A and B are shown apart, each in its own frame.
Chain A
Amino acid sequence: MKSARRYSTEALVIRQLDYAEADRILTIYTPGRGKFSVIAKGVRRARSRRSGHLDLFTRVRLDLAAARNLDVVTQADAIERFLFLGEDVTALTYAHYCAEILDAFVPESNHPSSELYAATLETLRRLGRRERDIAVRAFEMLLLDRSGYRPQLHSCLGCGKEIVPEKNYFSPALGGVICGDCMYQDPASVEISVPALKILRNLQTRPQEVLRLNRVEAALQGEMERRLHDYVVYHLERRPKSSRVLESLRTAPAIPA
């Protein structure tokens, strides 16, 4: 019998798809090998030894056997879980959103980034705390940056002049900020306030500081969320499914029994 090539890696499960009788195809994100899919056999059976270690958003140590198509999970040992996500639908939706855009922006395999991996985990941890909105903005910024979509926030994309703190516009199509004089270049651009622009810039240059401060008023949070959402939608060419759910969670009136 040909001996299969075996290897082990740390991974975060970012997507699951039921397959065949009791198998599951997992999309995992790893620090050293980037994003790829593996198959976990028999894990949907209650008696599976691995299923408890392979839930969505589990940080796990995996032993894998290389196979022709999908590598096969031979052992799994959970390192870190985000169980609070099961108790808070909004936090879960934020986590799904991060996983969905990570999956969409990062190409399959050979795109290792231990920095983005660590940032993903850190973002998940922060979802259990108060500063989760700004944590998701920081994640979006880093993800856009590392996948080649870093928005230009310092000089005008129309005339190249340095952006000054007055009326500026945000243009997903042009890839960042344009000044008032160049606004005509993208009629779909939307005005961006000076404080929102400032925080977004800081998220590019010194995210840790912004995350430590974490006192951002709700209106600003909303503005940044909408601008980055527009940006993500423009470059993905579709609206993330999880952001639709998030919107309905926010608008739907609670239905008391």
Chain B
Amino acid sequence: MNESSSRPRSIDRAVTELARLPGIGPKTAQRLTYHLLRSSGDQVLVLAEALRNLKEGVVTCSVCFNMSDRNPCHICESPDRDHAVICVVENLLDLVAIERTARFRGVYHVLHGAISPMDGIGPDELRIRELVQRAKDTSATEVILATNPNLEGDATATYIARLFEGSDIAVTRLARGLPVGGDLEYADEVTLGNALAGRSSA
């Protein structure tokens, strides 16, 4: 990089570190860096402080692998939740999305990914073993597989479902169908087919 040799090393370092973040390319990293340079010292320090505390203040829940400020997390500790129903999600953001529905009163299990062999992620790299053990230990009645509706999510769900075959635990999957506000004519045939198969009485 020729252009970088002329600017202070601290700027280069900030650009490089920001560019490591997902969805941020070198150009955006540069824009952010120069924005921070122009903004007030307080603002930059507040950001630095927030980043510094991020890792210290957050722990992984040893029961469900959610991120929380305590272990076990709020959800796993809560007496108001049904601990016999475990909803399995790929990522933390999926948990947040399901929480936002306010329709689920059970507990979660975060796999931290989906099976994706070309990225080196097989069943062993996910929290699947822990899920099976946990469901058994806590005598769960239902495991809801809320993985993404794509090939990797499906394969992950199928793999997990197999592991529960022959047990008393009911294994269910999220229904799939048409999104709110969508157009029927643009739906792909798999989604439309699923919506048709899973229709409910009006």
Contacts and interface: CB of A to CB of B under 8 A. Distances in A.
A49 B186 contact: yes
Interface stretch (B35-43, B60-68, B153-161): B153-161
Interface string B151-191: 11111001100011111010000000001111100111111
B127 to A, nearest CB: 12
B188 A241 contact: no
B29 interface: no
B166 to A, nearest CB: 7
The winner among B152, B153, B166 for most chain A CB atoms within 10 A is B152
A257 B140 CA distance: 11
A246 interface: yes
B155 A256 contact: no
B115 A89 contact: yes
B198 interface: no
Interface in B71-129: 115-124, 128-129
B158 A56 contact: no
Contacts of B128: 255
A83 B190 CA distance: 10
A237 to B, nearest CB: 16
A69 to B, nearest CB: 10
A49 B188 CA distance: 8
Interface stretch (A92-100, A129-137, A226-234): A92-100
Nearest to A48: B179
B22 interface: yes
A92 to B, nearest CB: 5
B152 A93 contact: no
B159 A89 contact: yes
B118 A15 contact: yes
Nearest to A240: B118
Contacts, number: 107
A146 interface: no
A93 B154 contact: no
Q: How large is the interface on B (under 10, 10 to 19, 20 to 34, 35 or more residues)?
A: 35 or more
A255 B132 contact: yes
Given A241-B119, A252-B124, A257-B166, A81 B190 contact: yes
Nearest to B135: A257
Contact of B158 (A18, A86, A242): A86
Nearest to A23: B23
Contacts of A19: 23
Interface of B: 22-23, 115-124, 128-129, 132, 135-136, 150-155, 158-159, 163-167, 169, 179-183, 186-191
23 contacts: A18-B22, A21-B23, A47-B180, A52-B187, A53-B188, A85-B151, A86-B155, A86-B158, A87-B155, A87-B158, A89-B155, A92-B115, A93-B117, A93-B122, A96-B117, A96-B118, A245-B117, A245-B121, A246-B117, A255-B129, A257-B165, A257-B167, A257-B169
A-B residue pairs, 4 tightest by C-beta: A86-B154, A52-B188, A245-B122, A242-B117
